[in-house]
Amino acid sequence: MARARSVCAPVPGGLWHIWLVRLLGGIALLGASFLVQAAGYTLAVVPQASPSETYHRWVPFADQLQRVLGQPLQVRVYRTFDEFETDLVNGLADFAYMNPYHLIMARKAQGYLPLIRDGSRLLSGLLVVRRDSPIKSVKELNGKTIAFPDPNAYAASLYMRALLQEKANIRFTSQFLGTHGNVYRHVILGSVAAGSGVNVTLAREFPETRAELRVLYETPGTPPHPLCAHPRIPSELREAVARAVLELGKNENGRELLKRIDILKPVRASYERDYQPLERLGLQKFSVQTGLSPR
């Protein structure tokens, strides 16, 4: 097939200035569009669930924060932990909801600051089996395959694998399935002997799903995922965001928004009080180094 040729018709002299004005106007509008896109902030969310589920849970909350920020707040969702972690270590997210280990990583790389966390419950990893599984103790998982969301998922993977290997002293094959929901479903299907999630995500599952699972082991509880800000965000704006989230917890509509993002009772978060003690767990030897090149 012959390639179509581009044909440029001559512009009549009398119309040249009109064409030029329209061209410059179009360029100006295009530039304005880029400025609007460049303005505003980003909110990155750890991929515990599928991108579509994460997006629908977080957009209503982001819409509320936009009013405080006075600029658009774009929710960034991710297919994999590696994509999310790469954005964190490169400081591409203005705000981020991350797991405790991600905060340790992101603080060292970029200085991210925790603002708010849920104060209604601690975060704990849950090792689950099928309800009708003959397995009654962790020791019986020795030599079997256990599913995890991702190598760097904190309570569901890092902490759980550390305890299974160092405390329970068992050896197993790890299978990483991307999301907590995938783990629960593979356990129900019998594809793996057991799987690890967390109390927050299991509670979010349908009752029919929970009814098919039995908790075999639970990790000690730790402070849950914090909502964080990059230090480039001015301190007065960080404070305004924190106050806005705290205010959402004081009315019914706000509490419904917070429930969707697993912050049932918002309280202020402190790195030194809540997360720095987790550095002593030595979980880095179970982590996988993420890529450092921006996507």
Which of 199, 218, 237 terminates a domain? The answer is 218
| Cβ contacts of 154 within 8 Å, gap of 6 or more | 99, 100, 101, 102, 123, 283
- pLDDT given for residue 290 in this prediction: 57
Same domain, 114 and 241: yes
- pLDDT given for residue 35 in this prediction: 31
Q: Which of 273, 270, 249 is nearest to 261 (CA)?
A: 249
**How many domains does one find in the chain?**
2
Cβ-based burial of 4 (10 A; exposed 0-12, middle 13-18, buried ≥19) = exposed
Which of 194, 218, 242 terminates a domain? The answer is 218
Which of 193, 218, 243 terminates a domain? The answer is 218
Asked if the structure places residue 211 within a domain, the reply is yes
Q: Provide the strand spans (E) within the chain.
A: 41-45, 73-76, 95-97, 113-118, 125-130, 145-148, 173-176, 194-198, 213-218, 226-229, 266-268
Asked if the structure places residue 89 within a domain, the reply is yes
Same domain, 167 and 203: yes
Mapping DSSP to helix (H, G, I), strand (E, B) and coil, where does residue 85 land?
helix
- pLDDT given for residue 39 in this prediction: 66
| Domain hosting residue 275, numbered range | 40-121+223-286
Same domain, 108 and 186: no
Q: Rounded distance, CA 135 to CA 191, Å?
A: 15
- pLDDT given for residue 130 in this prediction: 98
Asked if the structure places residue 189 within a domain, the reply is yes
pTM summary value: 0.81
Same domain, 103 and 234: yes
Phi, psi for residue 95 in degrees, rounded to 5: -125, 150
Tally DSSP H helices, then E strands, for the chain. 10, 11
| Amino acid letter, residue 112 | Y
Asked if the structure places residue 1 within a domain, the reply is no
Asked if the structure places residue 10 within a domain, the reply is no
Asked if the structure places residue 11 within a domain, the reply is no
| Cβ contacts of 76 within 8 Å, gap of 6 or more | 42, 43, 44, 45, 87, 93
Asked if 233 and 215 touch (Cβ cutoff 8 Å), the reply is no
Asked if the structure places residue 232 within a domain, the reply is yes
Q: Which of 190, 188, 210 is nearest to 199 (CA)?
A: 210
- The tens place of each residue's pLDDT in the chain, 295 residues long, gives 333 322 233 333 343 333 333 333 333 333 332 333 346 999 999 999 899 999 999 999 999 999 888 899 999 999 999 999 999 999 999 999 999 999 999 999 999 999 999 999 999 999 999 999 999 999 999 999 999 999 999 999 999 999 999 999 999 999 999 999 999 999 999 999 999 999 999 999 999 999 999 999 999 999 999 999 999 999 999 999 999 999 999 999 999 999 999 999 999 999 999 999 999 998 888 887 755 444 3
Same domain, 53 and 188: no
Q: What is the CATH number of the domain that holds 269?
A: 3.40.190.10
Asked if 226 and 274 touch (Cβ cutoff 8 Å), the reply is yes
For residue 123, the Cα-to-chain-centroid distance in whole angstroms is: 15
- pLDDT given for residue 31 in this prediction: 35
Cβ-based burial of 199 (10 A; exposed 0-12, middle 13-18, buried ≥19) = buried
